Structures are given as C-alpha cells and as structure tokens.
Amino acid sequence: DAGITQSPRYKITETGRQVTLMCHQTWSHSYMFWYRQDLGHGLRLIYYSAAADITDKGEVPDGYVVSRSKTENFPLTLESATRSQTSVYFCASSGTSGGALYFGPGTRLLVL
C-alpha cells in the first residue's frame, strides 16, 4: 500500500537498550520528520530531513540519532533508552517545503 508506514507499532524495552524505530514512505517526498507526543506537551519535533543525507535537529534531539541514506526511509534510533523517552513517536513526510505533513500511524514506545 502506498503511504507512510511505521514499525514496530508497539515496543517495550528496558532502560539502556538501543531501539530503532522505522519509517518508510512511498511518495518519494523530500522532507521527513520525527515527532514525539506526550500528554501536556503536544507534538515536539525531534529531527527532520530535507533530503537523503541531509538531517537537522529539532526541538528535542538529545538521546536520538537519525539517518537518511535513502529518500524513502528515515529511521530513528534511541542510543540508550531512558524512561523519559516513553512516548508515542510519529513520523511524517512532506512533498513541499513548508507544505502539509502526512503522518504515519505512530509507534508507542514504553521504556521500563
């Protein structure tokens, strides 16, 4: 199916473990984004990418790493998970700079 997908949809991990959240889009959109959503904070931008091999920090990048070797994929890695990273993570893409974002279904991450 075309669109934007995230995997896994649910993940439970332990403090200190490395976790990678996957994001894949089939539209060949240039721009991709990672947000986290927490009660009381709305959505906060973690990282974004304007093209393959071009990434930049958002509002809350500490503890996260991204890469974008292919236009369609934008994985997010938590290098050493902490409880404060328990959240719902949304990936999004956009075909135009400053245009509408198209969101994936989200990954619910629980760090014990």
Partner 1 sequence: SQQGEEDPQALSIQEGENATMNCSYKTSINNLQWYRQNSGRGLVHLILIRSNEREKHSGRLRVTLDTSKKSSSLLITASRAADTASYFCATVPSSGGYQKVTFGTGTKLQVIP
- One-letter amino acid at 16 equals G
Contacting range for partner 1; rule: CB under 8 A; set: 10-18, 21-29, 37-45, 71-79: 37-45
Query: How far is residue 110's CA from residue 100's CA, in Å, rounded to a whole number?
Result: 29
75, 55 Cβ separation under 8 angstroms: no
Contacting range for partner 1; rule: CB under 8 A; set: 17-25, 39-47, 65-73, 74-82: 39-47
31 binds partner 1 (CB under 8 A): yes
51, 30 Cβ separation under 8 angstroms: yes
Query: How far is residue 102's CA from residue 81's CA, in Å, rounded to a whole number?
Result: 27
> 49-78 mask for partner 1 (x: CB under 8 A)?
xx-----x-xx-------------------
* Residue numbers at the binding site for partner 1 (CB under 8 A): 31, 33, 35, 40-45, 48-50, 56, 58-59, 90, 92, 97-106
